[in-house]
Homo-oligomer: A and B are copies of this chain.
């Protein structure tokens, strides 16, 4: 088997974020579930945007944020995800390529617009997301580049993609290609409501195809339908080789059949916006994992990257993570 040329290839919804500050009363009045991701259609996206505060636009997408983070750490990374052939699609492609990521998925012509996620950041720094999937939902098995997957140590899948049946097929296909090539498959659960919408599919994908599972407390508890984190954590390693469970300010726990390692969160002077925290934790962990680090050091690198992203507005790093990691002695 040839040595892989890539560290990680990510597959996800290619989304541009529209970030604005909002009061809790606005979230309540708009009847949105605070702290989660809701799917909305184009008309709702337009009317919600009209009522939102002044915003800033930045490339996002959960797996794309992770992949950009891996590139910022100096890793070799690629991304697969669908934008439209429009202004926001060009912004998305520019921002990913500019970080050094290989990105060559063909943009959609004549269909829905590039996906956007309206992100409301409340004074407590929590983010509440309303996503119009647009072109990203037109992602199909034909968009999977088999060579990229066979060439990457880890294929990283975003749970959000499960909201479209065609994307589920693409996921299973990617998992099979990766394993056939002797590579690892990783999945992030993305959101407790997303888990709730697709619990059985997730369980069957994890059992059959996933080596490294990322989830936060709410997601893993939703997957195993329990309120007890320890109970949910114990269920993980029976189904995935490695469970990486993030717990916000409580740090993170990595679970395998052999060990359970807990690390604390990296300190942050002031939490500004938690958008991308989980995505960047995954970036740090996967960079460490694909560069021969042990689980503890990989998790610490994850915590460091998460701390950078929550210290400012937006879900892509503002500081070169490679320099930050070197300063912290983690690479």
**Does A169 sit at the interface, judged by CB under 8 A?**
no
Q: Inside 8 A of A52's CB, which chain B residues have their CB?
A: 94, 98
Check A55/B94 contact, CB under 8 A, given A87-B86, A87-B88, A88-B87. yes
Q: Inside 8 A of A57's CB, which chain B residues have their CB?
A: 56-58, 91
Check A55/B312 contact, CB under 8 A, given A86-B87, A318-B21. no
A313→B316 contact, CB < 8 A: no
Nearest CB of B to A102, in Å: 15
B68→A59 contact, CB < 8 A: no
Question: Who on chain B is nearest to A316 by CB?
Answer: B54
**Does A224 sit at the interface, judged by CB under 8 A?**
no
**Does A225 sit at the interface, judged by CB under 8 A?**
no
Top 8 nearest A-B pairs (CB, nearest first) are A54-B95, A57-B57, A56-B58, A54-B98, A87-B87, A53-B98, A54-B99, A56-B56
Identify 14 residue pairs between A and B in the complex whose beta-carbon atoms are under 8 Å apart, listed by A's number: A49-B94, A52-B94, A52-B98, A53-B98, A54-B95, A54-B98, A54-B99, A54-B316, A55-B94, A56-B57, A56-B316, A57-B91, A87-B88, A313-B318
